[in-house]
Amino acid sequence: MQEILFKSDDLLVMNLINYFVTEENYNPMIIHGLNDEIWLENLDGDYKIIRIVSHHIHNKEQLDFDKFKLGKIVKQVKKKTFSFKVNVLSIYTDIENEKLLSDDDIYIKKEEDINNPKLTNIFPNIVNKTRHNEKGIEYFVKVTNSINAKNEARGREAERIFSYKVPFITYGIMAICILLFIAMYLFGKGSEDTGTLLSFGANLDVLVKDGEFYRLFTCIFLHIGIWHLICNMYSLYVIGKEIESLYGKIKYLIIFVGSGICGSLLSMTFTHNTVSAGASGAIFGLLGSLLYFGYYYRAYLGNSIKRSILPVIVFNLIIGFMSTSIDNTAHIGGLVGGILLSMMVGVPGKGSKRDNINGTILTILYILFISYMAFK
């Protein structure tokens, strides 16, 4: 029978990978052109990247070249992930002179070296979690199974978040908008008649200040003219079903309605004695929500943020500033509201309770501020 031999540093690297993947939620990164290096990323961690280097470092010149390559790759990671700072922890397993290493470098030659203050200060449970009694192939199989189980769990979670769900809430909102649009012609003088719009609940600052607060909500579902309706319903169909699928129906409804009300309030601040209506403030809130979601998943959606989400937001804001008939203040109010509300309700599979609390506080402060500006 042929025996399979494992070098001690092979098992050491496997042990470290297993710990960071299964206990600290790091994900493997694919870096082309590198040999004997494992890159792991967790954009929410103290160190966004952990790099395990197992090739032999002979001297300072080779280490300097290693750092040069590291800097080049980190610049690319920053661009892709919209990160101003990317902390990297480099773990070397084979270096001629340990004294050459910097503060963000760690030398671990054998598993006993894992009990290193530089490492345990960041990951207090690493020593206990990396202890094992298995040897050789037995431990290799255990680690492989553990990593595979973690990856399968991540795959199921990703499938749950990104899989298609029927957007009943989006369809319901669209139906309400369309039915109200038709009703304004059946029971009034049409969607472009001021009296009809006001009777159906359009926004007008003097009436809201007089106590008709419901208009901040009802105006979201009214539209002025057929093209206004078509543009907003198309945008809602494209963006709304994505947000509903990603965040879930309850969170989506909170973001949509809350963003719409934020847009109505900011509109009151800068627009006076003008009847306004439309779902565009709420739709911009959904764009802000998509931007916030993309930030948390920027390792995967970084290119989409740069090529799709941000250009759409900027393009629509520019059009709004160029057109006197578009209430761009409602768009901005909804956009900011959507980002803050998304922080409050939380991104599925990401974020923390601290983010939710901060988002709730910021959302309340934002609504209080724009309400004060609107009603002063």
Please check whether residue 329 is in contact with residue 267, taking contact to mean a CB–CB distance below 8 angstroms: yes
Distance CA 204, CA 222 (A): 13
- Closest by alpha carbon to 215, among 276, 259, 145? 276
The H helix count followed by the E strand count for the chain is 17, 5
Q: Which of 59-63, 145-149, 183-187 has the lowest mean pLDDT?
A: 145-149
| 259 is known as an active-site residue | no
Q: How many CA atoms lie within 13 A of 207 on its CB side?
A: 18
pLDDT reported for residue 164: 81
In this predicted structure, the answer to whether residue 135 has a pLDDT above a threshold of 80 is no
What CA–CA distance (Å, rounded) separates 206 from 63? 70
Mean pLDDT confidence for 87-92? 88
Contact 234, 297 (CB under 8 A): no
Given a contact cutoff of 8 angstroms between Cβ atoms, the answer to whether 107 and 98 are in contact is yes
Is residue 45 very low, low, confident or very high in pLDDT (cuts 50, 70, 90)?
Answer: confident
Token pair for residue 150? Answer: 């973690």
Q: Is the pLDDT of residue 8 over 60?
A: no
pLDDT at 58 over 80: yes
3-class DSSP state for residue 144? helix
Reported as a single tens digit per residue, the pLDDT across 332-344 is: 999 999 999 999 9
Task: List Cβ neighbours of 192 (8 Å cut-off, separation of 6 or more).
Answer: 224, 225
Of the candidates 279, 271, 292, which has an alpha carbon nearest to the alpha carbon of residue 339? 292
Q: Which residue of the set 191, 267, 276, 280 is catalytic?
A: 280
Residue 182 has pLDDT above 90, yes or no: yes
116 pLDDT band (50/70/90 cuts)? confident
Report the b/e string of 184-201 with b at 16+ CB within 10 A.
beeeeeebeeeebbbebb
pLDDT class of 349 with cuts at 50, 70, 90: confident
Distance CA 89, CA 106 (A): 8
φ, ψ of residue 323 in degrees (nearest 5): -110, 130
Q: Known catalytic residue: 325?
A: no
Asked if 303 contacts 316 with a C-beta cutoff of 8 angstroms, the reply is: no
Is the model's pTM score more than 0.95?
no
72: how many CB neighbours lie within 10 A of its CB? 9
Which is catalytic among the residues 245, 264, 289, 331? Answer: 331
Higher per-residue confidence, 142 vs 298: 142
